[in-house]
Amino acid sequence: MKTIFQHIKGDKAIWAIVAALAVFSFMPVYSASTNLVYVVGSGSTLGYLLKHMVLLIMGFAIIYGVHKIPYRYFSGGAVIMLPIVIVLLVFTLTQGTTIGGANASRWINIPFVGIGFQTSTLAGLVLMVYVARYLARNKEKDIKFKESLWQLWLPVAVVLILILPANFSTTAIIFTMILVVAFVGGYPLKYIGFILGAGLFFLAFFILAAKAFPDAMPNRVQTWQNRIENFSDADSKEAYQVEKAKIAIATGGPVGVGPGKSVQKNFLPQSSSDFIFAIIVEEYGLVGGFVIVSIYFLLLFRIFVVIRKTTTIFGTLLVLGVGLPIVFQASINMAVATNLFPVTGQTLPLISSGGTSIWMTCFALGMILSVSASKQETEEDILDDNPLNILHETI
């Protein structure tokens, strides 16, 4: 055990939180996967559990590898990755992968592995680091709005425009988090207001264009509209899912019906991913649900502890930019399950089944641990990040 702790650096509480969420996820995923096996008729419960375990083991390998990288490399790395991410998003948007017969143009298949990769999650992570880099480099400067439009907001706009047609909820989360980081990073508030207005204007324009030319973007805008309208419609498909989730939560009571004894998992679509929180509450009760909520809030607290100890602006904005979305996504997932928010398709980080979400969450946590493990550094050290030099050092 001492040997293990000698090799892991950074905030030990975050390591413990990640381990607790990962271990706890085994039973809910195993239990909820019976829906896929006996209702959908796909695979076996043991197979889904083993797949989930393998993905988590790979996730821990990602955390370990990333947290060993000095976090100054992430700054220049974002510049290198940004054009690659844009190419991946264009490819993803045009190749039109389907999963289970449903449109899933947000995914690409990884050859020879059989796992779908959601490029928008990688794009969001790279974009947050890029924004943190820009704000840190210009913290002591008088930001000129026209210059920031080209250097900051144009890359942000390109990435979000490519994500938007297939994944509105992810686009909204990334945009919101970028505005939060921009505010914390000292970007002028009046300019943030302008960017927010421009974003809402473009969204309205996109919706009108999609309505006018429905063949260009089939089903997507209509799907968003239906989810909002059906939020209070008891007869809709989304309302059916939420209704089953509410029944599961109500059935759980204070201590739950017991591990693996959920009934609603057999009726609730996406019971092992989007609505796994409802299954957790049904099986482990209000106590189990409260523990999960508490763990995510503890993670948020530790993120702010790391921020408080960080000695550079880039480190502070990096931890905020990649850490806050994890807790925000968890909050949205639980809000959907309890009918406080329309259905979005956001998973519960480190608990829901799925590959890309787990991997990108682990990559973000690795970045946070890299910052928390760093020694006293100056801003000049961090921002001396010429991408060509970083690429040369990496090679």
Q: pLDDT tens, 227-281?
A: 665 555 555 555 677 788 888 888 888 888 888 888 888 877 777 778 889 899 9
pLDDT at 287 over 80: yes
User: DSSP 3-state assignment of 11?
Assistant: coil
Q: What is the dihedral of CA 68, 74, 80, 83, to 10 degrees?
A: 120
Asked if residue 295 lies in contact with residue 20, where contact means CB atoms within 8 angstroms, the answer is yes
User: DSSP 3-state assignment of 384?
Assistant: coil
Q: What's the mean pLDDT in 117-146?
A: 89
**Looking at residue 390, what is its pLDDT?**
46
Residue 365 tokens read as 């946590």
Residues in the chain: 395
Exposure string of 127-158, with b = 16+ CB inside 10 Å and e = fewer, is bbbbbbbbbbbbbeeebeeeebeeebbebbbb
Q: What is the mean pLDDT of the chain?
A: 82
CA distance 289 to 285: 6
The DSSP letter of residue 108 is E
pLDDT at 107 over 80: no
**Looking at residue 236, what is its pLDDT?**
53
pLDDT at 125 over 90: yes
Asked if residue 94 lies in contact with residue 140, where contact means CB atoms within 8 angstroms, the answer is no
Residue in 254, 246, 265, 216 with CA at minimum distance from that of residue 334: 246
Q: What's the predicted TM-score (pTM) here?
A: 0.86
Q: What's the mean pLDDT in 61-80?
A: 92
**Looking at residue 318, what is its pLDDT?**
95
**Looking at residue 322, what is its pLDDT?**
95
Residue 288 tokens read as 């189990």
**Looking at residue 266, what is its pLDDT?**
81
Alpha-helix residue ranges (DSSP H) falling in the chain? 2-7, 12-32, 34, 45-67, 72-95, 119-137, 145-148, 154-163, 168-184, 189-212, 220-229, 237-252, 276-309, 313-337, 355-373, 379-383, 387-394
Element (H, E) at 346: none
User: DSSP 3-state assignment of 109?
Assistant: strand
Asked if residue 342 lies in contact with residue 248, where contact means CB atoms within 8 angstroms, the answer is no
**Could you give the count of Cα atoms lying within 13 Å of 329 in the half-sphere of its Cβ?**
27
Residue in 124, 187, 190 with CA at minimum distance from that of residue 324: 124
CA distance 129 to 13: 23
Residue in 6, 313, 303 with CA at minimum distance from that of residue 132: 313
Q: pLDDT (tens digit, 9 = 90+) per residue, 305-327? A: 999 999 899 999 999 999 999 99
What are phi and psi for residue 251, nearest 5 degrees?
-65, -30
Label residue 223 by pLDDT band (50, 70, 90): low
State the burial class of residue 339 (Cβ atoms within 10 Å of its Cβ: 0-12, 13-18, 19+). middle
**Could you give the count of Cα atoms lying within 13 Å of 227 in the half-sphere of its Cβ?**
16
Element (H, E) at 118: strand 115-118
Asked if residue 77 lies in contact with residue 318, where contact means CB atoms within 8 angstroms, the answer is no
Element (H, E) at 43: none
User: DSSP 3-state assignment of 103?
Assistant: strand
